[in-house]
Amino acid sequence: MKRSLCLFAMVVAIVVLVALSPAPSRTQGPLYTDPTDRFGVGVNRAFGSITNYDVASLNIGWYSDWTYSLAPSRPGGIDYAQVIWVEDGSITPGLDQLGPMVDANPGFLWMIGNEPECIWMGNNTPEQYAVAYHDLYWFIKNRDNTAQIANGAVVEGTPMRMAYLTDVWNAYQAAYGTTMPVDVWNMHNQIARENNVADWGAGVPPVGPGTPTSTPGAMYDTSQNDSLDIFIQHVRNMRAWMNSHGQRNKPLIISEYGVLFTEDRGFTVDRVNDFMTNTFR
């Protein structure tokens, strides 16, 4: 989702729950090489680029702008997360463009898709996404084995979205005879209702012939859009899913979240700031 969500002058907060590098064991020392690695921001390019902001005052370690770049701006040396778009099973950029970007940016984090299950965004069936992920993962790794590959973030950590991830996981296993390789698990943490009515929310993920999921959708009210309890439960759902699929020791990042509504719905600046502060904590 790319909506106008405000955090200071920037647009969507990203909180990194664990490091972007492989999770260390308990004897390896600190999880983060620098405290700023815990936090990043999302920059909506309609409002400018990362260089338009006083990045140093934010104490962030990385950022995303929902796209990809051959030579991304990195003020103060912060990291840049590349996003490859996967829509209806098709990828952007094409491999001819992607190759030079991988070569020019060794060790970068690559997110394979943005909300691949959302009908308003990626609109991929689990089978489509599993194939695209497989092809991109190995294309990147074969050019740069230090690259970090993340799944495309689902909109939120609801049971319906966890069912979609399970369908992707199973589709990958069925197609390639092995478990889906993921370096960094990735999620968004919006609080949005799940139906296909022309209302507001995340819609219902598309299903393929091998994934007839029927998990009920969450029908949140707009007043719940800044619920700290729901926010926490979404993360717990994702962590539980990771644990049940043998992924508990992998990093998990939240690459987008915020408040989707404005003051006319009661979400004042103070209310939004309270939500952001509490979720940071």
Strand pairing class (90-92; 62-64):
unpaired
User: What are the pLDDT digits (tens) for 135-186?
Assistant: 999 999 999 999 999 999 999 999 999 999 999 999 999 999 999 999 999 9
Q: What letter does residue 107 receive in the DSSP assignment? A: T
Say how far apart CA 95 and CA 129 lie, in whole Å. Answer: 16
Residue ranges of the chain with pLDDT lower than 70?
Answer: 1-31, 198, 210-214
pLDDT at residue 146 in the model: 97
pLDDT at residue 173 in the model: 98
User: What six digits make up the tokens of 257?
Assistant: 């979240």
Say how far apart CA 189 and CA 259 lie, in whole Å. Answer: 10
137 Cβ contact list (under 8 Å, min separation 6): 112, 149, 181
Domains contained in the chain, CATH given: 12-280 (3.20.20)
pLDDT at residue 200 in the model: 83
pLDDT at residue 36 in the model: 87
pLDDT at residue 253 in the model: 95
Say how far apart CA 18 and CA 70 lie, in whole Å. Answer: 26
The verdict on whether omega for the bond into residue 100 sits within 30 degrees of 0, i.e. cis, is: no
Say how far apart CA 233 and CA 187 lie, in whole Å. Answer: 13
pLDDT at residue 213 in the model: 57
* Whole-number average pLDDT of the chain: 88
pLDDT at residue 12 in the model: 40
3-state helix, strand, coil in the chain (%, to 5): 35, 20, 45
pTM (two decimals):
0.88
User: What six digits make up the tokens of 64?
Assistant: 């995303």
End-to-end CA distance of the chain: 23
Say how far apart CA 129 and CA 151 lie, in whole Å. Answer: 10
